[in-house]
Amino acid sequence: MSRTRWLLLAAVAAVVVFSIMYGFMPKPAVVDIVKAAKGPMTVTVEEEGKTRVKDRYVISAPVAGFLRRIDLDVGDPVKKGQVVADLESQKAPVLDPRSRAAAEASVSAAGAMLAAAEETVSARTAAADYAKANAARSRKLFESGYISRDAMDQSESEAKRTAADLLAAEAAAKSARFELAKARSALGYSAAEQTVNRGKIVPVRAPAPGCVLKIYHESEGSVNAGDPLIDIGDPAGLEVKVEVLSEDAVRIKPGMTVLFERWGGEGNLLGKVRTVEPAGFTKISSLGVEEQRTLVIADITAPPESWQKLGDGYRVDARFVIWEGKDVLQVPAAALFRKGDGWDVFIVRGGKARLQPVQLGHRTGLAAEIVSGLAAGDQVIAHPDDSVRDGSRVRPR
């Protein structure tokens, strides 16, 4: 075999061996590479809020009664002291046949008692007139010396007694008339008689100026004492209440800046936290998870003309600014992963992935502040998977 043929066979064998070795060599992992960069960073808490009138007055019925129809509409302005509702006394009930028969019998009995009392008045009037005339004659006879003083005193005493009996009879007759009127009222003021209610009217007045926000009882009907009738308030004085998770509420302080977004108008509205309520409450989320939340109340500090279309109970998205930085070294949150008690990232050096521990500062949902471990411009692998290990070869996607 010639030397040239041996060289050709050797070259072919070398190519085959190299191809086999190359096929078994690990291929570099395809990864997404981002750079650690400095820039502005804002840590926020975002929750859904709802507007409400600051000074809201719920006007309630002071007494139980029959409410007349309220002529106001939602949005109508009201003045302080203006009558917003009228309360009458309760309507009389409809008498059933048994109650009506008993009421008619009571009228008849009261009429008979009045007749008896009037007859008694007539008899007592006659007796009093006779005793009075007799007392006058006795006085004349006493003055002429025909009878004794004792006889005169007896006749005058009889006159006084019969006069008192007459007054008592007249009072009894007057009482009988009232009893008759009382018995007749049970029939005359039944709801079935359509009697006009002549009772006193209780006016319900507005305690402050504003406009009508809600009407609970627009039509007439019976109400109990304390039942709400109308809500009034000034729509120009709005505040925003936001239900915040309790672990986020501890980071929110009064005076903190808040941005109201997606409220229906152009741009965002600037606001300021007024108070964080100290009491929390439990709420079930849309996923069925129990959450402990707290109310945060914020004022809208933007010019009123920019949000005058907002009303009571409107939905807004509130973004509380917890912390802001202008020149912050940061990487995407997707590049971070846990290792023990700390955080690590993969950086790319010489085409290979290198494990790099980092110390974190502030975090948002998308990025994290790097306090130490990286420098601006370092290449970091985003979304590292199981194929990326310390020292493995990588190439950008």
Cα–Cα distance between 212 and 230 in angstroms, integer? 7
pLDDT category of residue 184 using cuts at 50, 70 and 90: confident
Rounded CA separation 299/316 (Å): 13
Q: Is residue 76 scored above 80 in pLDDT?
A: yes
Name the residue with higher pLDDT: 14 or 281. 281
Alpha carbon of residue 349 to chain centroid: 60
Type of residue numbered 101: A
**Are the C-beta atoms of residues 225 and 63 closer than 8 Å to each other?**
yes
pLDDT of residue 51: 93
The answer to whether residue 61 scores a pLDDT higher than 70 is yes
- pLDDT grade for 12, boundaries at 50, 70 and 90: low
Helix (H, G, I), strand (E, B) or coil at 136: helix
According to the model, what pLDDT value does residue 19 have?
61
Give 252-276 pLDDT, tens digit per residue: 999 999 999 999 888 899 999 999 9
How many whole angstroms separate alpha carbon 52 and alpha carbon 370?
A: 41
Model confidence over 310-333: pLDDT tens digits? Answer: 888 899 999 999 888 888 999 998
Give the integer Cα–Cα distance in Å for 206 and 225: 17
Is residue 21 pLDDT above 80, yes or no?
no
Would you call 228 exposed, middle or buried from its count of C-beta atoms within 10 A (0-12, 13-18, 19+)? Answer: middle
* Beta-ladder partners of 77: 211
Task: With cut-offs at 50, 70 and 90, classify the pLDDT of residue 189.
Answer: low
Lowest mean pLDDT among 1-10, 13-22, 35-44: 13-22
Residue 264 has a pLDDT of 87
* Neighbour count for residue 9 (Cβ, 10 Å): 11
Q: Which range (69-73, 80-84, 246-250, 283-287) has the least confidence?
A: 283-287
Structure tokens at 354: 């290198």
Q: What does the alpha-carbon distance between residue 55 and residue 315 come to, in Å, rounded to a whole number?
A: 19
Task: Let me know the angle formed at the C-alpha of 61 by 313 and 58, rounded to the nearest 5 degrees.
Answer: 20
Residues 6+ apart with CB under 8 A from 190: 92, 93, 94, 95, 100
Reduced to 3 states (helix: H, G, I; strand: E, B; else coil), residue 333 is: helix
More confident residue, 232 or 140: 232
Strands 352-363 and 238-245: unpaired
Nearest to 187 by CA among 313, 280, 99, 286: 99
